[in-house]
Structure 1
Amino acid sequence: MMKIRSITNLILVAAVIFISYYSSIVGINGETQATVSKGLSTDFTPAPYAFSIWGLIFVMLAVIAIKDVRLAFTQDKVGHESFNCWLTVSLVLTIGWTIVWSYLQIGWSLVVMAGIFLSLLLAVLHKNPRPVSANITLALYFGWISVALVANESAWLVDLGWVKDNGEGWLSDPSFSVMQSALSLVLFAFVLSFKSIRKGLDPAVFVYPLVGVWAYIAIMVKNGAGNPNLLVYVSAFFALILLLVTGYFGTKWNASYSANSKD
């Protein structure tokens, strides 16, 4: 059973990587992820380079999937499985999100994105022991989905026509994006407020807020050229807060990693 499960997860990782890059380069439904995102962009949307973090997430997913296959086919079975059922579910939903997003079903894409967030949360809370590399992967994946969930919600409101860029109404940039930036920080703080989540990600818990720092810097870069708006300064402040949180949890890394160095 472990062999079938590990091979299935490796195939799913390969499928996620393929469909993500195919939809980004060739496109689905005549749209690439970038063209859809550009049409629904707000000031909160990070600079394009920020999405390169997916490459790192994919590499880490491939590494732990290969490690699970190797573990499954090793007679002594030394070590712990990296994947659990909820991480598998998140991969399936990520494939589904790419398709739904490409077909411009933005409301449904938000629902699927919320499903990815919830499945990753449950993957973190799963009590079976995991190697450190798996927790690093989960922290990266979960951190970026925490940003993507708020960005997807922004795109949905743009799609509904509720957000204007002409300065009219309370849902207008940059004031709207400042609220979204604050919402993102609240989400990061809310997740980290639970001891069970911090324990589930330990010793890689510091990676989770570090992803938020990456996102806020990318927002600053996008909006900092020319005449910087309020969002630039707010993002800088929020990035500093998350950087301090990262440093706090990072101090626990050496001792925890040393205890799990074989993973």
Structure 2
Amino acid sequence: MFKIRAITNLLLVAAVIFMSYYSSIVGINGETQASVSNGLSTDFTPAPYAFSIWGLIFVMLVVIAIKDIRLAFADSTDGEESFNCWLTVALVFTIAWTIVWSYLLIGWSLLVMAAIFVSLALAILRDKPRPVSANMTLALYFGWISVALVANESAWLVHLGWVADNGQGWLSDPSFSVMQSALSLVLFALVLSFKSIRKGLEPAVFVYPLVGVWAYIAIMVKNGAGNPNLLVYVSAFFALILLVVTGYFGTKWNANYSAKSKD
């Protein structure tokens, strides 16, 4: 059974990568991910280079999927599995999100994005031990989905016509994006407030807020040219907060690792 699960997960990872790059380069429904995003963009949307983090997430997913394949076909059954059913579910929802986003079903895409977020949270909460590489992958994946969830919510409000630069929406940039930036920080803080989440990601818990730093820097880069607006300074401040949090958890992990290495 483990062999079937391992092969299935590897195929799902390949499908996620294929769908992501196909929808970005060729497009689905006559739209690429970028073209949809550009039509629903706000000041909170990070600079395009920020989305390259998906490449790192994909590499890590391939690594842990191959590890599970090797473990499944090894003579010894001793070892730690990287995938569980909830991570598999998150991959399925990621494929579904690519499709509904491309078909401009923005409300549905927000629901699917929330499902990815919940699935990854449940994957992290699993009690069984995992390899460090698996926890790093989960921290990266969960961190970026935390940013993407807020960005998807922003896109949905733009799609509804609630946000517009011409003053016809209920909200306008950059004030709206400052609120979204604050909401993103609250989400990161809320996730890290759960001891079970921190324990589930150890020793890679510091990677999770580091993804937030990456996103805020990309927001600053996008909005910093010319005459910077308030969002640039707010994002810089929030990035600094998350960087301090990253340093705290990173130092704590290093201290624990050093202590164990002396035993």
- Paired with 1:49 and 1:119, the residues of 2 have a C-alpha distance of 26
| Residue 74 (structure 1) aligned with residue 74 (structure 2) | yes
1:48 maps to 2:48: yes
4+ runs deviating over 6 angstroms:
258-261
1:1-263 alignment, distance < 5 Å: 1-167=1-167, 171-256=171-256
* Conserved 8 A contact 2:162-2:169: no
String of CA shifts for 1:139-192, please: whole Å, max 9, x gaps. 000000000000000000000000011246651000000000000000000000
Structure 2 Cα separation of the partners of residues 170 and 252 of structure 1? 44
Contact 1:203–1:252 (8 Å) recurs in 2: no
Unaligned residue ranges in structure 1 (runs of 5+): none
User: Where do 5+ consecutive residues of structure 2 fail to align?
Assistant: none
d(CA) in 1 for partners of 2:168, 2:107? 24
Q: Which residue identity lines up with residue 152 of structure 2 in the other structure?
A: N
Shift of 1:127: 1.0
Query: Structure 1 residues 257, 87: CA separation in 2 closer, same or farther (over 3 Å shift)?
Result: farther
* Matched residue SS, 1:252: helix
Work out whether residues 132 and 257 of structure 1, in 8 Å CA contact, stay in contact via their aligned partners in 2.
no
Q: Is the contact between residue 110 and residue 149 of structure 1 (CA under 8 Å) also seen in structure 2?
A: yes
Equivalent AA in structure 2 for residue 134 of structure 1: A
Cα distance in 2, alignment partners of residues 165 and 87 from structure 1: 39
- Match for 1:82: what amino acid? S
TM-score, L = length of structure 2:
0.96
Structure 1 position 27, deviation (Å): 0.2
Q: Percent sequence identity over matched residues? A: 87
